[in-house]
Amino acid sequence: MRVLVDISHPSQVHFFKNLIFRFRRNKDKVLVTAREKDVTIDLVRNLNLKYICLSRQKNGMPAMAWELIIRYIRMWAIVRRFKPDILIAETGVTVGLIGTILRIPRIVEEDTEHAKLQRMIGLPFVSIIMTGLGYLGNHGSRERKFKGVWVQSYLNPEYFTPDASILANAGIDVSKPFIVMRMVSWTAAHDTGLHGYDETGYLDIIKRLSKYGRVIISSEETLPESMVQYKNPVAPEQVHHLLAFAHLYIGEGATMAAEAAVLGTPAIFCNPLPLGYLMAMEKEYQLLYNCKSFSEGIEIAEKLLNTENLTQLWQQRRQKLLDESEDINEFMYKIVKELVRS
């Protein structure tokens, strides 16, 4: 079987990597097409995956539209040359239309209900849409639901083991409490009209959190001079070890909020965008909190950081999620095989 996986965001590298390894074990041929956004290319390289970079992230609607045209042109040429049996992606923005024209099955994972533009461009042209816990949409006969949260495809115990030595090598003492804070760039298409705090606002949050331990900031943009001392010293491909040993996560990034929660770390998502899987993780498992801003989030954080046996409580809640979930990689692999056969 010949498989093409399209990756446009760092989180997708992690999400698809174990599925790709599954294909490799089965002697299938896999090609990755990637988008240069944040550390996406670095993560692909670190996994020693064969890849082709289709484009570089652009900001602003005209620039993003031009980038998409470039992706279509290059993807068309690659698909015609590689001749895949199936196309796999997250939203299907690039592979959906091309796969439809060339009559190649398209399978995507969907979890971002508020990304209306991407969903409008990609989802109408895909064969199968995989969704997980709490998804708010409905795609009828094309939808396949898995039990669990999509980040479990790489963070469940069978795929990931936290290693304290990685943090020690980066100068982080896991015996002392530390808090991970995430700041995003607010440049994605679904972030239009939204923005974060100014420098003073973020510094106030840092000051309040610092009472409870070391603050470590993961940021999509370069930190100002006043915050450089808080910059995350752990390599991007090892950030899950950081989240696993953190006392708490608070931030604007949805993916890291889900990752922290799945690892048993209390998480606070500070973002007005609604995400079904995060709301379900709060309602059904009490693993994280959803709030609209850091102002709301810091109030919750201070209450949690004053709670006794916080880590043990979250580990118990995490176990409940693990017990009620399935192996998402095997779920995806079976769907791919069935789709190709049909």
What does the H/E/C string look like for 228-291?
HHHECCCCHHHHHHHHHHCCEEEECCHHHHHHHHHCCCCEEEECCCCCHHHHHHHHHHCCEEEE
Percent of the chain with pLDDT over 90: 70
Note whether residue 92 is domain-resident: yes
Specify the range with the lowest mean pLDDT, choosing from 43-47, 62-66, 114-118, 163-167.
Answer: 114-118
Asked if residue 334 and residue 318 are part of one domain, the reply reads no
Note whether residue 159 is domain-resident: no
Q: What is the mean pLDDT of the chain?
A: 91
Model confidence at 167, pLDDT cuts 50, 70, 90, reads very high
d(CA 129, CA 90): 9
Tokens matching residue 126: 């895909």
Asked if residue 143 and residue 9 are part of one domain, the reply reads yes
Model confidence at 22, pLDDT cuts 50, 70, 90, reads very high
- Token pair 């024209």 is at which residue? 101
269 versus 273: which is more confidently predicted?
269
- Please count the structural domains in the chain: 2
135 secondary structure, DSSP code: -
Instruction: Summarize the confidence of residues 33-44 as an average pLDDT.
Output: 87
Full residue range of the structural domain in which residue 223 is found: 164-323
Note whether residue 121 is domain-resident: yes
Residue 192 has pLDDT above 60, yes or no: no
pLDDT tens per residue across span 195-225: 456 789 889 999 999 999 999 999 988 899 9
Note whether residue 152 is domain-resident: no
Asked if residue 337 and residue 310 are part of one domain, the reply reads no
Asked if residue 181 and residue 294 are part of one domain, the reply reads yes
Asked if residue 38 and residue 175 are part of one domain, the reply reads no
214-219, strands of its sheet edge to edge: 214-219, 178-183, 248-251, 267-270, 288-291
Asked if residue 279 and residue 134 are part of one domain, the reply reads no
Note whether residue 157 is domain-resident: no
Q: Quote the pTM value.
A: 0.89
Residue 30 has pLDDT above 70, yes or no: yes
Residue 276 has pLDDT above 50, yes or no: yes
At 191 the pLDDT is: 41
Instruction: Summarize the confidence of residues 159-183 as an average pLDDT.
Output: 96
Asked if residue 219 and residue 182 are part of one domain, the reply reads yes
Give the phi and the psi of residue 58 in degrees, each rounded to 5.
Answer: -115, 155
Instruction: Summarize the confidence of residues 147-165 as an average pLDDT.
Output: 97
**CB atoms closer than 10 angstroms to residue 328:** 25
Residue 106 has pLDDT above 70, yes or no: yes
Asked if residue 141 and residue 49 are part of one domain, the reply reads yes
What CATH number did the domain enclosing 76 receive? 3.40.50.2000
At 27 the pLDDT is: 93
Model confidence at 114, pLDDT cuts 50, 70, 90, reads low
d(CA 93, CA 6): 10
Asked if residue 204 and residue 116 are part of one domain, the reply reads no
Residue 49 has pLDDT above 50, yes or no: yes
Asked if residue 56 and residue 184 are part of one domain, the reply reads no
Note whether residue 155 is domain-resident: no
At 58 the pLDDT is: 78
Residue 190 has pLDDT above 50, yes or no: no
Model confidence at 115, pLDDT cuts 50, 70, 90, reads low
Asked if residue 332 and residue 299 are part of one domain, the reply reads no
Instruction: Summarize the confidence of residues 146-157 as an average pLDDT.
Output: 96
Note whether residue 284 is domain-resident: yes
Asked if residue 307 and residue 247 are part of one domain, the reply reads yes
8 versus 335: which is more confidently predicted?
335
